[in-house]
Structure 1
């Protein structure tokens, strides 16, 4: 079982409140536009984390590619994918893949407007909090920072497992 969701990290800086000595207001100077990384992640209750990304919005074919990668990670078992009802998840390309891998992948859709039921939302929150108050001048710099945070989480499966302890999610996964 894996939970899947997409998100984006923009070059526009995420700002958080901070402290500074009186009279020394911290300044964040940015020159970014709307460039962003499109990211997709799958997390499992055992602490496994799978992330894909690109510098353009995801297409149906990208979703099929990611599901194919998940299938290759879970070669010996059928795969239960729990995700939201985004239109890209219901595309013809995804339906064709399901027909081609009949019985191998089972998709379950979360109820509409219920991000609190998806532990991947907690992963995105954690990732984006770690990027606050930083300025990235290129997608390459942003990619390096994102990959570093992902690497840290991959090395700490207990942290990923903690995303499943939220009461709304624990009810479903236990």
Structure 2
């Protein structure tokens, strides 16, 4: 990405770290204070209830895009890519994600080939890069999910239904601008230099 510093700083290229999160009723369970040698119950109505979220963290401006889906799969991955394109019309996108099978599926590759058809690689509208295999610590979106789930655990008593859990999780994430030190791994060399000029 160093070769594209100016384009990124000028907003012509948007760089996202991307990941999926599977939110469960059980994610609201945390530790609470109670009397010694006495069990404290935390009510959970249906631990099997589940919501998948697709998320993308803009590694330059540090804002976050969150989108609920019914699962992680090829169809929803293409839908999320289209959503990012709609948010950034006439921009080139770089997506950095893990090696999930649906990221590499025929449906996703077909869509990327259609979008980038007949373009040289340097002019692709969407470029996908992989994090190292089995290295979730490289992806700052994992830290976003962790913060969201920790917030749920601290406020478990407010959410009596899974609908409330989902709303609490998405409201928390949508109100944040994330500024992890991990993001500097990608832009530390030039972020401050270019930010001053725009």
Q: Which residue pairs with 1:112 in the alignment? A: 133
How many residues are aligned here? 164
Q: Which residue pairs with 1:149 in the alignment? A: 172
**How far did residue 44 of structure 1 move?**
0.8
Bigger Rg, structure 1 or 2: 2
Q: Which residue pairs with 1:97 in the alignment? A: 111
In 1, the alpha carbon distance for the partners of 2:62 and 2:86 equals: 18
Matched residue of 1:9: which SS? strand
Say which of 13, 17, 22 aligns to 1:8.
22
Query: TM-score, normalized by length of structure 2?
Result: 0.75
- When residues 36 and 137 of structure 1 are mapped into structure 2, their CA distance, relative to the original with a 3 A threshold, is farther
Say whether 1:48 aligns with 2:63: yes
Specify every segment of 5 or more residues in structure 1 that has no aligned partner in the other structure, as ranges.
none
- When residues 39 and 137 of structure 1 are mapped into structure 2, their CA distance, relative to the original with a 3 A threshold, is same
Specify every segment of 5 or more residues in structure 2 that has no aligned partner in the other structure, as ranges.
1-14, 117-123, 189-198
Query: TM-score, normalized by length of structure 1?
Result: 0.84
In 2, the alpha carbon distance for the partners of 1:9 and 1:132 equals: 12
Q: Which residue pairs with 2:121 in the alignment? A: none
**How far did residue 97 of structure 1 move?**
1.1
Q: Deviations over 1:91-139 (max 9, x none)?
A: 1111111111101000001110111110100000000000115165543
- Superposed, 1:21-100 pairs within 5 Å as 26-45=40-59, 46-54=61-69, 56-100=70-114
Q: Which residue pairs with 2:151 in the alignment? A: 130
**How far did residue 12 of structure 1 move?**
2.2
- When residues 112 and 78 of structure 1 are mapped into structure 2, their CA distance, relative to the original with a 3 A threshold, is same
- When residues 64 and 123 of structure 1 are mapped into structure 2, their CA distance, relative to the original with a 3 A threshold, is same
Of structures 1 and 2, the one with the larger relative CO (CA 8 A, separation 6+) is 1
Q: Which residue pairs with 1:140 in the alignment? A: 163
Task: Quote the RMSD (CA, aligned, Å).
Answer: 2.0
